[in-house]
Amino acid sequence: MARFETYQEYQRLGAEDYEEDSPPGEDLLVHVPEGLKDSWHHIKNLDNFFTRIYHFHQKNGFACMMLSEFFELVQFLFVVLFTTFLFNCVEYDVLFANKFINHTGSSHPERNKVTLPDAILPTEECTARIQKNGWIIFLLTMAAVFWVYRLVKVICNLLSYWEIRTFYIKALRIPTVELCNYSWQEVQARLILLQREQQMCIHKKELTELDIYHRILRFKNYMVAMVNKSLLPVHLSLPLLGDVIFFSQGLKYNFEMIFFWGPGSLFQNKWNLHPKYKRSGSRLELAQQLSRVVLLVGIANLLLCPFILVWQILYAFFSYTEVIKREPGSLGARRWSLFGRLYLRHFNELDHELQARLSRGYKPATKYMNSFTSPLLTVFAQNLAFFSGSILAVLIALTVYDEDVLTVQHILTAITVLGIVVTVCRSFIPDEYMVWCPEQLLQCVLAHIHYMPDHWKGNANKCETRDEMAQLFQYKAVR
């Protein structure tokens, strides 16, 4: 891992930013007569270029990237259309057997089974229903607009990553099928070698690893710094819950937009800080300007909120219902929170390096968090499990004796619901033979995550430590 987060380095980065506007001796270098006449000489937006090279490697090449972008489009379409279909084109009365279907002319007069097509409305009736409903048409239009916007973005990506693919094959000489055998370190080494042949970067003759890291991680480093200095308003003090941290994917997106790439952001050219932010005189004025931008973004968020909410509910329903049915225990699974990923990140640490570090800390962190149990919750869970389990036991016994019981209304629903209740309850009851050693577990976690507040030391068994850890290591379901 490359960690050179000294002050000098930052100075140098800042200094470089200036240079980029007026590369020293640009005229001297652009028209080099000798050397290879390739299209990767003097790349203007090196930040973006290196980032794309990194992503191309991390996301396993062109086919994978494009396929997943394509599927994202299809998923969006699917969710929208399937939901519309479910709300408008299914006759639930038939499905729930509240309405009698008569298959006249059936070959088996005695047998009158409902089939799926019986419950689906004919196309004309369906379209009529949709056309009548103004809201649905509005939502569908919104969705269509958004989809087209994403389609355009995907096509842009496709073109730009096709270029990266060519770069990998022609310049770095890594054929597509071999890509998975190369680590990022190896790709980077080839990149540095290549710079000597063809000057991708024209400000310097030689690229170092640090140069590449700096460019890929320019904005990430700012974010890490802001989180470490607690500059971002992510700590909230709620009346009942106490000190909580709110830092969702959406908030992060908004922060990045405001600071880095949105209209009115602090950066020009997408890679260097606007000079006016470096003069201390205009601070107040710029702060006001920024607060205006934040207000506008806030209003935009408020307006878009219902659509995003609906989308998130639909998407969560389609994604997680089945998981919760199959293994309700996964509700209790945890992941490193978005805040944790920034708080624990080193400066100049690439995504895959951070991920590897956090992955190694995942198991001990899970064990550490699981070794705490709320005794009161345990008592409730045990008793709820007993009562639900008792009723379930009777229903199971009756079912095994004669499965006609299942045809009684709501018995199957009861069995399913009680089963889930019992499983969830049991996940709250600690194992009888659990070994309690929080201090060692926290040491294990620390060995990988590297940062730890001082007051955790020697207090691994305290609830406060656990609660602070929980801010970094959230329930998956929360996000």
Candidate residues 6, 39, 106, 115; the one interacting with its own copies per rule CB under 8 A: 115
Candidate residues 181, 185, 237, 249; the one interacting with its own copies per rule CB under 8 A: 181
In the beta sheet, which residues pair with residue 472?
Answer: none
Q: Does 98 bind its own copies (CB under 8 A)?
A: yes
C-beta atoms surrounding 225 within 10 Å? 14
- CB nearer its own copies, residue 231 or residue 310: 310
DSSP 172: S
**Contact range with its own copies by CB under 8 A, out of 23-31, 129-137, 405-413, 450-458:** 405-413
- CB nearer its own copies, residue 273 or residue 384: 384
CA angle 53, 55, 59 (to 5 degrees): 125
- CB nearer its own copies, residue 267 or residue 473: 473
Least distance from its own copies to the Cβ atom of residue 478, Å: 16
Residues in 307-366 that interact with its own copies by CB under 8 A: 317-323, 325-326, 335, 356, 358-360, 362-363
Q: Does 393 bind its own copies (CB under 8 A)?
A: yes
Candidate residues 114, 225, 286, 452; the one interacting with its own copies per rule CB under 8 A: 114
Q: Considering only CA atoms, which of 88, 91, 92, 90 is closest in space to residue 139?
A: 88
DSSP 122: P
How many residues form the binding site for its own copies (CB under 8 A)? 93
C-beta atoms surrounding 251 within 10 Å? 16
Tokens, residue 67 = 């396929």
Least distance from its own copies to the Cβ atom of residue 272, Å: 34
Residues in 254-313 that interact with its own copies by CB under 8 A: none
Strands 267-268 and 473-475, how do they pair? unpaired
CA angle 304, 308, 309 (to 5 degrees): 115
- CB nearer its own copies, residue 215 or residue 341: 341
- CB nearer its own copies, residue 304 or residue 333: 333
Q: Does 89 bind its own copies (CB under 8 A)?
A: no
Q: Does 108 bind its own copies (CB under 8 A)?
A: yes
Residues in 55-74 that interact with its own copies by CB under 8 A: 59-61, 63-64, 67-68, 71, 74
- CB nearer its own copies, residue 266 or residue 385: 385
Q: Does 383 bind its own copies (CB under 8 A)?
A: yes
Considering all CA atoms of the chain, what is the largest pairwise distance in Å, rounded to the nearest integer?
A: 93
Q: Does 77 bind its own copies (CB under 8 A)?
A: no
CA 405/CA 412 separation, integer angstroms: 9
Q: Does 387 bind its own copies (CB under 8 A)?
A: yes
Site string for its own copies, 138-157 (x = CB under 8 A): --------------------
Q: Does 404 bind its own copies (CB under 8 A)?
A: yes
Question: DSSP 3-state assignment of 245?
Answer: strand
Strands 272-273 and 334-336, how do they pair? unpaired
Tokens, residue 107 = 């070959």
Q: Does 463 bind its own copies (CB under 8 A)?
A: yes
Least distance from its own copies to the Cβ atom of residue 466, Å: 10
Residues in 423-442 that interact with its own copies by CB under 8 A: 423, 432-436
**Contact range with its own copies by CB under 8 A, out of 17-25, 27-35, 92-100, 256-264:** 92-100
CA 442/CA 457 separation, integer angstroms: 9
Determine contact, residues 73/150, Cβ cutoff 8 Å.
yes
Question: Cα(first)–Cα(last) distance of the chain, in Å?
Answer: 29
Tokens, residue 38 = 């390739």
- CB nearer its own copies, residue 17 or residue 349: 349
Q: Considering only CA atoms, which of 5, 3, 10, 30 is closest in space to residue 203?
A: 30
Strands 267-268 and 272-273, how do they pair? antiparallel
